[in-house]
């Protein structure tokens, strides 16, 4: 059963709204990430303590992910994204209060857990909407959505660097960002596709009409392997998000604002990689492009660890390109069969976000023993594993020319 068609103006409006969702997700995440070094210093946390604190955000995200696909099928993308935006904004404000007012690591962990719940549900729902918009448009656009996320993180990281330099209180920074995200996000959800015209809506209607219980996506070998590719990609990206600024500050002995600038360099390169990536994926296919990406992530992280400050900045840029396409390609691969897109995306996202669950405490533990900078060596080990697994994301065979009903794009996505 294929979803009903939507008219051109509805699809165009949904496309604009989806771009907004991705930009705002980048803003919401990077606002907190850009102030991690300041929060660490304010609360006087060691590397291990910071890793355990960041673990709370990952737990919240991972708990939300497995359920979101089913929730979207029942309530629609609009309600799930709206709820995710509200919860994330609340968690962001609470994180600022925990650091500046309560001066409490426990309160910060609780706030980050709430933030993670909002981010996790929001992330899956907006990716489901993105695959539906891509299918209705009939052309690849997913990498551009993820580039919009990266662009939001870049601009926000630069703002965060400036505010850190100006010593603006974390609470004020986070509260203003949360208000902006909440206001624009709740306005944008009105532009999502009607539920009956989406793959999730069609799947829900089919189940209701037939009473059919589909096989769990957790039992599909290809889905699980794609999930592990996304896990490595998420670890490659997430390690930089959480630790790059700290590594430049503590490992290369640069001021905190310079560490945030290195983080912004990584994000800018990742954005460029996602913009250019669509054409490369169309031309060379998912497998070859991802192999090049993971190799670049290995090279870039090595330069960050082993080089002097200028080489480390170059390494951050190369690392950003290497981290650019793994996650979006995984999302596209999960939606090769649109009828199973929501269920598979939840599984793949859950496995992928396990990197955010395990990454902070692992890097924190290693950071306490060998230093934050040298702990980044695990990124290269993960990239080597991904090089073995990437064939699982290969595009499906194109349908015969006589087939009239579209089954969704086979071109990858972030």
Tokens of 388: 């073995």
Q: Which burial class, exposed, middle or buried, applies to 62 when counting CB atoms under 10 A from its CB (0-12, 13-18, 19+)? A: buried
Percent pLDDT > 90 in the chain is 37
Q: Is the pLDDT of residue 301 over 90?
A: yes
Higher local confidence (pLDDT), 21 or 216: 21
d(CA 135, CA 406): 8
pLDDT of res. 157: 84
Work out the average pLDDT over 393-402: 66
Work out the average pLDDT over 304-333: 91
Q: Which of 92-96, 157-161, 236-240, 334-338 has the highest mean pLDDT?
A: 92-96
Are the CB atoms for 241 and 388 separated by under 8 Å? no
What CATH class has 8-198+216-393? mainly alpha
d(CA 187, CA 364): 39
pLDDT digits (tens, 9 = 90+) for 312-322: 999 999 999 99
pTM flag (> 0.75): no
Q: Which of 134-138, 139-143, 275-279, 296-300 has the highest mean pLDDT?
A: 296-300
Work out the average pLDDT over 236-253: 85
pLDDT digits (tens, 9 = 90+) for 38-50: 999 999 998 788 8
pLDDT of res. 215: 72
pLDDT of res. 297: 94
pLDDT of res. 404: 38
d(CA 123, CA 169): 28
Average pLDDT taken over every residue of the chain: 84
Residue 203: partners with Cβ closer than 8 Å, 6 or more residues away: 1, 73, 339, 340, 342, 343
Q: How far apart are the first and last CA of the chain?
A: 27
Work out the average pLDDT over 356-379: 80
pLDDT of res. 219: 81
pLDDT digits (tens, 9 = 90+) for 94-123: 999 999 999 999 999 999 999 999 998 998
Q: Is the pLDDT of residue 304 over 90?
A: yes
| Segment among 39-43, 381-385, 393-397, 400-404 with least mean pLDDT | 400-404
């Amino acid at each position: 059963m294929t979803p009903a068609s939507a008219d051109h103006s509805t699809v165009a409006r949904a496309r604009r709204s989806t771009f907004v969702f991705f930009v705002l997700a980048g803003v919401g995440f990077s606002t907190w990430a850009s102030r991690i070094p300041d929060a660490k210093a304010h609360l006087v946390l060691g590397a291990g303590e910071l890793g355990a604190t960041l673990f709370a955000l990952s737990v919240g995200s991972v708990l939300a992910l497995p359920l979101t696909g089913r929730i979207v099928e029942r309530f629609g993308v609009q309600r799930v994204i709206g709820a995710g935006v509200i919860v994330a904004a609340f968690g962001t404000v609470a994180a600022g209060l925990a650091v500046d007012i309560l001066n409490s690591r426990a309160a910060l962990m609780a706030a980050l857990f709430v933030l993670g719940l909002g981010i996790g549900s929001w992330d899956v729902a907006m990716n489901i909407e993105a695959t539906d918009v891509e299918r209705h448009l009939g052309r690849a656009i997913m990498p551009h959505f993820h580039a919009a996320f990266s662009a939001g993180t870049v601009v926000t990281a630069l703002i965060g660097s400036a505010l850190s330099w100006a010593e603006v209180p974390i609470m004020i920074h986070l509260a203003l960002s949360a208000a902006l995200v909440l206001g624009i996000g709740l306005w944008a959800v009105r532009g999502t596709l009607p539920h009956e015209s989406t793959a999730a809506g069609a799947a829900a209607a089919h189940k209701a009409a037939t009473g059919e219980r589909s096989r769990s996506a957790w039992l599909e070998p290809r889905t699980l392997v794609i999930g592990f590719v996304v896990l490595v990609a998420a670890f490659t990206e997430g390690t930089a998000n959480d630790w790059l600024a700290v590594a430049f500050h503590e490992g290369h002995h640069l001021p905190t604002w310079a560490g945030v600038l290195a983080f912004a360099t990584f994000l800018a390169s990742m954005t460029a990689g996602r913009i250019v990536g669509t054409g490369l994926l169309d031309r060379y296919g998912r497998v070859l492009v991802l192999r090049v990406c993971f190799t670049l992530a290995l090279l870039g992280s090595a330069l960050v660890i082993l080089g002097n400050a200028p080489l480390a900045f170059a390494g951050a840029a190369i690392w950003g390109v290497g981290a650019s396409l793994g996650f979006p390609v995984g999302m596209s691969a999960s939606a090769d069969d649109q009828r199973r897109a929501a269920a598979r995306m939840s599984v793949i996202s859950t496995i992928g976000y396990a990197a955010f669950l395990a990454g902070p405490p692992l890097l924190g533990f290693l950071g306490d023993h060998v230093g934050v900078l040298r702990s980044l060596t695990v990124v290269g080990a993960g990239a080597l594993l991904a090089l073995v697994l990437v064939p699982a994301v290969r595009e499906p065979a194109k349908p015969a020319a006589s087939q009239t009903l579209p089954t969704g794009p086979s071109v990858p996505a972030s």
